[in-house]
Amino acid sequence: MTIRLYDTSARQIRDFTPLTPGHVSIYLCGATVQAAPHIGHIRSGLNFDILRRWFEYRGHQVTFVRNVTDIDDKIITKSADQGRPWWAIGYENERAFNDGYEALGCLPPTYEPRATGHVPEMVEMMRGLIERGHAYVADGSVYFDVRSFPAYLSLSNQDIDDLRQPDEGVSGKRDPRDFAMWKATKPGEPDWETPWGRGRPGWHLECSAMAHKYLGSAFDIHGGGLDLVFPHHENEIAQAKAYGDDFARYWVHNAWVTMSGEKMSKSLGNSVLVSEMVKQWRPIVLRYYLGTPHYRSMIEYSEEALREAESAFARIEGFIQRVVEKTGKTVEPAAEVPPAFAEAMDDDLGVPQALAVIHTTVRQGNSALAADDKEAAVERLAEVRAMLGVLGLDPLDPQWAVESDRGEDLHGVVDSLVRMVLDQRESARARKDWATADAIRDQLGQSGLAIEDGPDGPRWTLGTR
């Protein structure tokens, strides 16, 4: 058994071998909490939640660190615009992110450090970089000298002479490409004391310092969205390795959620907030929609695609419901997932191929039910639950209990409405108006409902096509 992952730094899929056998260490760039999250933000956390679950299924202990950037230029700008403390804006949005992760079934990280809680670690790293000649002080700010680190830009495969880096409107830089690790204080901005004067952290330094604190000088996987490859991850690498750390051995990046071909972004005005989406769609359906495409594939957002995801997941749920109703059993997940599912997941987290195995197993289970082979149906359900559990999509899992309660309420409303229509169909059948009866059945079928006529009367379920 070998898990293989696409490593951005190697630009190829590599066999994964952890530094410590049986233990996997992951650092994921988390939220910059200047605003509430849209579904593009949450996709990253969800993709790495599935990766974490798969490592754990394969028997690894996982240390999963996901940071919070709670001090940032945009947070400070919003604080000034809104007349509110910067920390109040950050905390409010940090809670919104955690609500979003929780709503979509993401496991909590092992550690979730805030940038502002790790200024001493940042000062220590800057001191070491200055002593080694990789950083310098200018007008109270501290800059990293990119020319001092020959491997700079190796992750994004750029040439430094072609790089046009903004000078951030400050003086004192030796090279406009040098980036700020520490920014000198400005009137009205939050600041902390350092040996070089008061100021606040630069974005890139935060993650290098926190990864070092929680995972040591070397760890297995550094993750984040594709947009972070440059400049954020390039600058992290430069700081950490120039400081003396081996840093991350694998770099894993997820693709974006797009709208009209553009990355979902608040600056483009095209974001879809998680808090609003969970009012319109069941959270487990949103997880299915965001988590089942391959993590390196773009997701083009549309309501049509969400409806397709809803229908696909309903077929899985419908099978689970029918087995439980017909057998009257509580079917526990199988001890192991089917080999084809495991093979797909081992191959660069191939969730789409793994999902195909789930749907095939559901079809086999439905065939077993049709043949009244309850034993085979129960076996298929156990396999389906095991596979869904790995993806965080098992509707019988306690994590979805609240949603299940809401679903029961909604099911009751829908059942009352469908029963009214079925009563009309039964009346038409009683007067031998077969055309009307068939038309009602066909119309229900077009709505995604399957009608089964049995000795106890008609029964409806969500379709299994």
- Through-space distance between the first and last CA atoms of the chain, rounded to whole angstroms: 34
Q: Are 1 and 58 in contact (CB under 8 A)?
A: yes
pTM equals: 0.86
The confidence score (pLDDT) of residue 464 equals 41
Strand (E) or helix (H) holding 462:
strand 457-462
Note every long-range contact of 350-356, with CB atoms under 8 Å and residues 24 or more positions apart, other chains counting.
350/294, 351/50, 351/291, 351/292, 351/293, 351/294, 351/295, 351/391, 352/292, 352/293, 352/294, 354/387, 354/390, 354/391, 355/292, 355/391
Q: Locate tokens 């049709």: which residue?
A: 370
What is the CATH code of the structural domain delimited by 4-129+204-268? 3.40.50.620
The confidence score (pLDDT) of residue 429 equals 85
Residue 387: CB atoms within 10 A of its CB come to 25
Q: Are 3 and 248 in contact (CB under 8 A)?
A: no
Burial of 178 (0-12, 13-18, 19+ CB in 10 A): buried
Q: Are 224 and 233 in contact (CB under 8 A)?
A: yes
Closest by Cα among 220, 182, 218 to 201: 182
How far is CA 176 from its chain centroid?
35
Q: Does domain 314-396 have CATH number 3.40.50.720?
A: no
CA distance 113 to 47: 20
The order of strands in the sheet holding 135-138 is 135-138, 141-144, 179-184, 199-201
Q: List residues bridging with 258 in a β-sheet.
A: 263, 300
Asked if the domains 4-129+204-268 and 314-396 are classified in one and the same CATH topology, the answer is no
- Tokens representing residue 311 in the block: 């229908």
Note down pLDDT in tens along the chain; length 465 residues. 799 999 999 999 999 999 999 999 999 999 999 999 999 999 999 999 999 999 999 999 999 999 999 999 999 999 999 999 999 999 999 999 999 999 999 999 999 999 999 999 999 999 999 999 999 999 999 999 999 999 999 999 999 998 876 555 566 899 999 999 999 999 989 999 999 999 999 989 999 999 999 999 999 999 999 999 999 999 999 999 999 999 999 999 999 999 878 888 766 676 799 999 999 999 999 999 999 999 999 999 999 999 999 999 999 999 999 999 998 888 999 999 999 999 999 999 999 999 999 999 999 999 999 999 999 999 999 999 999 999 999 999 998 976 654 444 444 555 556 666 777 888 888 888 888 888 888 877 776 677 777 655 676 765 543
Q: Where are the domains of the chain?
A: 4-129+204-268, 314-396, 402-462
Residue 231, preceding peptide bond in cis (omega within 30° of 0): yes
CA distance 386 to 345: 13
Q: Locate tokens 């087995």: which residue?
A: 323
The confidence score (pLDDT) of residue 426 equals 82
Residue 317's alpha-carbon distances to 51, 210, 321, 381, in angstroms, are 23, 41, 6, 10
Residue 179 is given by DSSP the state E
SS3 225: strand
